[in-house]
Structure 1
Amino acid sequence: MDVKQVSVADKARRWIFSVHFCTPIIIIISPRLQILILAFLAASVSACKMNRCYNESELSEAVERKLRSHYHQPPDPLPAADPDSPSSCPVELYQYLAPHEENRRSLSPWRYVLRSMKDHFPSTYSEAECLCSGCILIQDVPGKGRVPVENFSYTSVPIIQSRVFLRRDLCGDGGKYRLTPVSQDVAVGCTCARPMST
C-alpha cells in the first residue's frame, strides 16, 4: 500500500491511498474523516473489551478490576440494619445523640439498611431509610419548654444518587458471563422538605 500526500485546489489536506489489486484504486480521505474513522475504531475496540465473556474462575478478578478502574464504589456505612427490623422516629433521643452521627442528628434522621441484588456486583449495599415521616424541629411546648418534636408541616424525603453496578448476564454459549454496567437509584440520606402541593 502506497501513501502519498498531495495538494488540492482548495489547499485542504487529502490523503491518497493507492491499493493495488488487479487495477489501482484511489480513495481520497479528508483529515476529518480520518479522525472519525479512528474514533469509530477505538470505540469498537473498547466496546469489544466491555462485552467480553468470562468463565467462572475469571469473573471475580474481572469484577474487582472493573469496579476499581471504571466504576468506583463508595464505602458502605456501617453498621447497616436488616430491612425488616423495626424502626421509629428518634424524637426522644434527638438531643442526646452523638455529634458525629450525622444520620441520627439530622432534622430528617435516617438509618442504613442492607440491600441485596442477585447477579449484581457488588451484590449487597447499604441504603438510607428515613426514620420519620415529618421533620424533627425544636419547638416551644407548654409546660416542657423548648423540646424536639416531629413536625408534620414538613416531610422527610430520601436523597437519591445513581450508582453503577455490574450485572452478570449469561453469554450465548451458556458457560460464560458478561458484565453489563447498570445504573440503580440508591437513597444515600434524607432531608427535610416542604410537602409537595397538589
Structure 2
Amino acid sequence: MQIAMIVVILGLQLGPAWTCNVNRCYEEGELSKAANRKLTSHYPQPPEPHGVLAWDSPASCPLDLYVHYQQREARSLSPWRFVWKTMKDHYPSTYVEAQCLCSGCIVTKNKGVPEMSHDYNSVPIEQSRVFLKRELCDDGRKYYLKPVSVNVVVGCTCARPRIAS
C-alpha cells in the first residue's frame, strides 16, 4: 500500500515535468533551432521536388508543347507546375505545392496528336504534412511550437467527372 502511495505521489510531482516539454516556451531567437530539431526528430519533411526552381512552366495547359517536355509533371495526362507557398508563423515557412494546369486531361487520339478531353477532370492529389505553428505562450513574450496538419497538393491526376445526382 505504501509503495502504491509513493508511486502516485511521485507521478503527481513528476507528471508536469514530463509533459511541460510538449508546449515548452522559447525566446524568439530560439524558435528556428527548436523547430528544426523537432521537425528532424518527430516530423521528418519530404524532400522538395528536384528542379523546382529551374522549371518555369506556363500557367496554362501546355497542350501545344506537350510532346517536348521532359519532366514527369509536364508529361502527365494531367500536367502541373510547382509554386512556392509561404505560411507566416509556421516551420517550415515556405514549401512547394503543385498546381494543376488543365481543367480536363490530355489524351492522344488521331495519329497520336494530343488533345484536351473533358471526358475526364484534372484533379489535385493531396498529402497531409505536419508543420509547426508558432503560438504565443501565456507570458505574452515567448512562443511554443504547435504541430498542425496541412493538406499539400503534390501532383495532379485524371479522374472521371462527378455526376450530380
Aligned length: 159
C-alpha offsets along residues 5-45 of structure 1, whole Å, 9 cap, x if unaligned?
xxxxxxxxxxx326xxxxxxx86x9xxxx9xxx7x999865
Quote the residue 1:92 is aligned against. 64
Quote the residue 1:135 is aligned against. 105
Contact 1:56 1:176 in 2 (8 A): yes
Aligned counterpart in structure 2 of residue 183 of structure 1, from 133, 149, 156: 149
Structure index of larger Rg = 1
SS at match of 1:161: strand
Q: So what's the TM-score if we normalise by structure 1?
A: 0.72
If each structure's helix is expressed as a fraction of its own residues, which one has the higher value?
2
Contact 1:80 1:126 in 2 (8 A): no
Deviation for aligned residue 1:79: 2.1
Higher relative contact order (CA 8 A, sep 6+): 2
Quote the residue 2:84 is aligned against. 114
Are 1:17 and 2:2 matched, yes or no?
yes
Instruction: Please list every run of at least 4 consecutive aligned residues from structure 1 whose deviation after the TM superposition is greater than 3 angstroms.
Output: 40-47
The alignment's C-alpha RMSD in Å is 2.7
Contact 1:170 1:178 in 2 (8 A): yes
Contact 1:80 1:113 in 2 (8 A): no
Unaligned segments of structure 2, at least 5 residues: none
C-alpha offsets along residues 71-122 of structure 1, whole Å, 9 cap, x if unaligned?
11112224259xxx96111111111221xx1111011000011111110111
Quote the residue 2:41 is aligned against. 69
Q: So what's the TM-score if we normalise by structure 2?
A: 0.85
* Identity %, equivalent residues: 54
1:109–1:44: structure 2 CA closer, same or farther, 3 Å change rule?
farther
Give me the whole-angstrom Cα distance separating, in 1, the residues matched to 2:18 and 2:79: 43
